[in-house]
Amino acid sequence: MDPLTALLAVLLLLALVYWYGTKDFGSLEKLGVPVIKPYPFIGSILKPWESFCVSDDLQNARKYGRLWGLYEGPWAQLFVADVDMAKHIMIKDFDHFQDRPVLFDFEYGRDQMDMMPADRWKVLRSLLAPALTTSGRLKAMTPTMQQCLDDACRRMEAKLRDSPVIDAQADLFGPLTLDVMAQFSFGMKVPDVADKNSVFVKHASAFGVPTDATPNPLITYILTSFPSLGNRVAGRQLIPAFRYFLEMIRRSIKQRRAEGVHRPDLVGVIMDAIDNKVPTAEYRQLRLTEEILLLQGAEMLMAAYDTVGSALNKSAYFLATEPEAAEEVAQEAQELDELTYESVAQLPKLEAFIKEVLRMAPLLVRHFRVCTRDWEYQGLRVPAGTSVTIPMSVFHMDEQLFPEARQFRPARWLEEDAHRSHQYSWMPFGLGPHACLGARLAMVECKFFLAGFLRRYRFLACDQTKFEYLPGSGLFATTKPIMVKVEKL
């Protein structure tokens, strides 16, 4: 190749690379909203490894108002921090925003229900909803939750013999969440949920939020600038875990068929669908195969491991650091004659406590939607294909919506009009038809387990009790374990 041709080839390559790194720039500016200045490849966030999504969203809302745009690498996002507009997007005008962006574009990742286009996820959601939302199915889980609670208490008391201070996630809530969700998602008891070296725990941990490493600036830049590469890296970590859990569900189903056992749990729903739904023309047309149905069981574990575990972990922090509120919910739980599905439902102070935890420190702090049909709202025209981000922390920390928003005040949820006042501004599980399908199950688990622990133990603060957020992540996670002192009653 002669020098001139080589030079032209290099220039063409550089032009193509530059085009890739800037190809969506300008799309947000056309909407007429304030846009945070982007830079090629990097986007609008200059130091993503230092960025904390909650403080970023609050700062941007103060600076730009209720609407702004930014580029995360090449990804253009319209931020909507207006309650009424968010309500239209997620509920009233949902037919214009039926999809979510595909955040996990790799094998198994793209076939999770929440990543699917509307025609596919709606069918799966209607199939799985009864196992996750009906009172009868949730009540049937009570014996399993009680067994998992008792096992967790035995593990914790063994820890307490060595030290009164525990790592709330690693020593208590992580294994507990894995235990109950393994039985719910896979229909089997896993004996080694507390063994960090077990194959099961190692694969489950792949779904967790890494908190023991400082984000590398160069790697963060590369993965932000080239999402396809980021998906490949995520796939290398998660695909083996998905395959492991798919095989677990297959073994569970095979064993049930051999023993002639059928239970009304998630595995039972999947078994019925494999027999009666997969062969139908509708499922074949939508490419809803046996493997995709099995995959949803693995997704339930992935979704619950961090979300439920995080809620319980942060609850331990607030129980330890807010003694007055902790005393009220402990007294309420201790007055129960016994721990049952019905009795736990009658704990308004505990429910208020959990809601306040999820208001102040939800794991997921942004909801994502994709505009699937051109939409107009009060003069704002949003074309199909636009990614919309709803930063819930802006609502959760709004003094107009939640007076004394920076104060941990569970009593706000006991006020007479609390539900009506906050039904569209409190959204840790999302809103509307695309809200978290496991929200009711998550609340039942949190109430049951916290009530069970508060009937036996007291959580106290110590010198090691700290809450430090994890930078460089789109989640409200902690960078160090939450350590609390535990006293047996």
Annotated binding site for heme: 436
Q: Which amino acid is at 388?
A: V
Q: Which residues of 179-218 are buried (b: 16+ CB within 10 A; e: fewer)?
A: bbbbbbbbbeebeebbeeeeebbebbebbbbeeeeebeee
Q: What is the 3-state secondary structure (H, E, C) of 88-145?
A: HHHHHCHHHCCECCCCCCCCCCCCCHHHCCHHHHHHHHHHHHHHHHCHHHHHHCHHHH
CA angle 343, 349, 355 (to 5 degrees): 105
Is residue 357 within 8 Å of 314, Cβ to Cβ?
A: yes
Structure tokens at 473: 């992540």
Starting at the edge strand that comes first in sequence, how are the strands of the sheet with 165-167 ordered?
165-167, 483-488, 457-460
Phi, psi of 44 (to 5 degrees): -90, -15
Show the beta-strand stretches assigned E in 270-324: none
Collapse the DSSP code of 439 into the 3-class scheme (helix H, G, I; strand E, B; otherwise coil) and give the result.
Answer: helix
CA distances to 128, 161, 397, 485 from 352, rounded to whole Å, are 28, 33, 17, 23
Residue tagged 């396809």 (tokens):
228
120 vs 114: CA distance, rounded Å:
10
Identify the CA nearest to 354 among candidates 382, 377, 325, 380. Answer: 325
Burial status of residue 4 (CB atoms within 10 A of its CB: 0-12, 13-18, 19 or more): exposed
Count how many residues are written for the chain: 489
R_g over Cα of the chain: 24
Collapse the DSSP code of 406 into the 3-class scheme (helix H, G, I; strand E, B; otherwise coil) and give the result.
Answer: coil
Cβ neighbours, 10 Å, residue 95: 11
Q: Is 472 left (phi over 0), alpha (psi -120 to 50) or beta?
A: left
Collapse the DSSP code of 457 into the 3-class scheme (helix H, G, I; strand E, B; otherwise coil) and give the result.
Answer: strand
CA angle 21, 101, 244 (to 5 degrees): 105
142 vs 145: CA distance, rounded Å:
5
